[in-house]
Structure 1
Amino acid sequence: MYISISPQKTGAAFSKSAGDFVSYLEKENAGKSLLKKEYFFNQYEDNIQPYEVIKGIDGNTAKLKNKEPKYYSITMSPSQYELKHIRNNPEKLKAFVRDAMKEYAGSFNREINGKPINVDDIKYYAKIEYERSYKSNDVAIRENKAYSKQIAHLKNELRKVERGEISGNPRKLESEIQKLARDAPYKIRGKVIEPGMKKEGLQSHIHIIVSRKDASNTYSLSPGSKYKASEVEMHGKMVKRGFERDRFFQNSEKAFDKMFQYNRNYVESYAAKKMLSKDPKQYFLGLRNLGFNEKKIAFKMIRQAGLQLPVLNLPTSKVGFAYKQLKRIIETGIKSSSIGY
């Protein structure tokens, strides 16, 4: 499970309304009949129309400054293993989001009217998307780049030859293009993967637009707060503040596992991901100490990210390099959402 939280982009170049983002999330509905369209949902309602989302978010911004984000975007991307486990069932994804948003509310170290924040204090709208396209920062695109560049060059040369602008052997050029296409490391049905191509396999993920203000449009709730859970004295009294991202990410993962009886592998876990960032050596040792079956699955998940593990039996002088390589491999897999978090 990969979860990210991003603030609304602000500044002169960006719209102050949620309209542009909502329109972006409507891209998969283009050309579909009413019965086949995917609609927004929140904690209690389904089939929410785009204009209702825009109205709900844009109308819930009391006393926010122009440079402050009016909403935050949360993206939840289950791995293909997780999606396969729930059979890519959209109703199960919705149920998970509704549970995860309870964890989101509970991760604020705040009170409203003397009570801890709960999901009814949160104003949000969510939508499931089923497709993903390759982007320039994906592993496949980066490692195909040299081949794609050379193929584009040769295709340009071939067109010039066919137009009579330069002399050359069309058959030889076509043969070189085909060889490069065969040698490229990443392909879909024989075609070299390029930016914009749709990814194969289960790609369902959820976009959530959550208002910066609470549901009553009174209190500001920022998951981007620089403060962790703490208390501070303001105007002579102690006030709670902060948002615990670690708690939200970890508890969302636990909610998925409990709801669907999912047996999470070591490399998928939020705890392991955090260890990777803080102590790669310990992460590496944890990976090596897994039982045979779990280790086998873990390595398979890592390799499916498109990279190879470094050799494990290294002289002491090269161990540090191996840790760095492993960290890079896992982080790349995490971001590609082949593994998850």
Structure 2
Amino acid sequence: MYITITAQKLGGNYSQSSTDFVDYLEKENQGLEQEDIEHFFNQYGDEIDAKEVVKEIDSNTAKLKNREPKFYSITVSPSQSELRKLQNSSEDLKTYTRAIMKDYATSFNREINGKPITVDDIKYFAKIEHQRTFKGTDKQVRENQPFATKILELKNNIRKIEYQQLEGNIKQMKTQIAKLEAEAPHQQNGKRIVQGTKKEGNQSHVHIIVSRKDASNSVSLSPGSKHKASEVEMHGKIVKRGFDRDAFFTKAESSFDKTFGYKRNYAESYKSKKDFIKNPKLYFTTLLGLPASEKAIAFKMLAKSGVPIASIPTNQVQLALKTIRYLKRGVDVAIKSGSIGI
């Protein structure tokens, strides 16, 4: 599972409308038949129109300044292993979204009218998408780039020859292009992966737009708060403040496992990510101490993410700092692809 929480940000000041973001989330519906369209939903409603989402989010911004975010974006991306556990991607992800938004609410160290925050205090809308495309920052695109550069150069030379600006053998250049296309290290369905290529397999994920203000439009609720959980005196009263991201990510992972009976391997857990960041030695020690069957699954997960498995230390003596530093870069990729993000 990979979950991110991002503040709305469009330039120096924050946009006063959620229109652009909602339009972006509607892109996958273009050209689809009515029965195939994915609608927005919230805790209690389905098939919510995009215009209604914009209206509800934009009208719920009382007393927010221009340089304050009006909403936050939460992206929930289950791993391929987690997606295989779902019976129906759309309906199951709706169920899961509604579960983690309860977790989101209880992760605020706040009270409204003397009562802890519940999901009914959160104004949010969510949408499920089933496609992803490769970005320029993806490993596959980056490692294919040298081949892309040479192919582009050859194509430019062919055009120059056709316009009599350069001399050369077009047939020979086309043969070179075909060879480079085939030699690019990352292919999908027999074609070189480039930026914009649709990723194969189940790519279902959830986008959630959540208002900065509570449902009554009176209290500001920021998951981006620097305060984890604390109390402060304001106007002579003790006020609770803060959002515990660590608690939210832990609860979100647990909610998935309980809801779908998912048996999570250490290598894909949020705990493993924290161990890896804070104490790499503990991470590798725990990895090596797993039961044989679980260790095999963990190594398989890491191998799929490009970690040099042959170099992972096999005993405690080999858990030297130098070895850990060497592996850190590769394991970090695996952690990001299989765990909840911070």
Query: TM-score normalised by the shorter chain: which range applies?
Result: over 0.9
1:180 has 2:180 as partner = yes
Assess if the C-alpha contact under 8 Å between 2:281 and 2:319 holds in 1.
no
Q: Which residue of 2 aligns with 1:74?
A: 74
CA–CA distance in structure 1, aligned partners of residues 117 and 101 of structure 2: 11
1:288 counterpart letter in structure 2: L
Assess if the C-alpha contact under 8 Å between 1:103 and 1:251 holds in 2.
yes
Q: Which residue of 1 aligns with 2:54?
A: 54
Assess if the C-alpha contact under 8 Å between 1:11 and 1:67 holds in 2.
no
CA–CA distance in structure 2, aligned partners of residues 297 and 166 of structure 1: 56
Deviation at residue 174 of structure 1 after TM alignment: 2.6
Deviation at residue 148 of structure 1 after TM alignment: 1.5
Q: How does 1:61-100 map to 2 (within 5 A)?
A: 61-100=61-100
CA–CA distance in structure 2, aligned partners of residues 141 and 261 of structure 1: 35
Q: Which residue of 2 aligns with 1:324?
A: 325
Assess if the C-alpha contact under 8 Å between 1:109 and 1:230 holds in 2.
yes
1:6 has 2:3 as partner = no
1:148 has 2:148 as partner = yes
1:244 has 2:244 as partner = yes
Larger deviation, residues 10-19 vs 93-102: 10-19
**What is the CA RMSD across the aligned residues, in angstroms?**
2.0
User: Tell me, which stretches of 5 or more residues in structure 2 are unaligned?
Assistant: none
What do residues 13-51 of structure 1 show as CA deviations (whole Å, max 9, x unaligned)?
A: 763200000000000011122222110000000000000
Q: TM-score, normalised by structure 1?
A: 0.93
Q: How does 1:1-341 map to 2 (within 5 A)?
A: 1-12=1-12, 15-309=15-309, 311-313=311-313, 319-335=320-336, 337=337, 339-341=338-340
Aligned residues: 339
CA–CA distance in structure 2, aligned partners of residues 119 and 189 of structure 1: 43
Give the secondary structure class of the aligned counterpart of 1:208. strand
What do residues 278-312 of structure 1 show as CA deviations (whole Å, max 9, x unaligned)?
A: 11121122222222222222122222224433613
CA–CA distance in structure 2, aligned partners of residues 298 and 44 of structure 1: 38
Assess if the C-alpha contact under 8 Å between 1:310 and 1:322 holds in 2.
no
Q: Call closer, same or farther: CA 1:224–1:298 in 2, change over 3 Å.
A: same
What is the percent sequence identity of the aligned residues? 55
CA–CA distance in structure 1, aligned partners of residues 292 and 159 of structure 2: 54
Q: TM-score, normalised by structure 2?
A: 0.93
CA–CA distance in structure 2, aligned partners of residues 320 and 155 of structure 1: 48
CA–CA distance in structure 2, aligned partners of residues 214 and 10 of structure 1: 22
1:28 counterpart letter in structure 2: E
Q: Call closer, same or farther: CA 1:314–1:117 in 2, change over 3 Å.
A: closer
Deviation at residue 52 of structure 1 after TM alignment: 0.5
CA–CA distance in structure 1, aligned partners of residues 194 and 311 of structure 2: 30
Assess if the C-alpha contact under 8 Å between 2:265 and 2:294 holds in 1.
yes
2:330 counterpart letter in structure 1: I
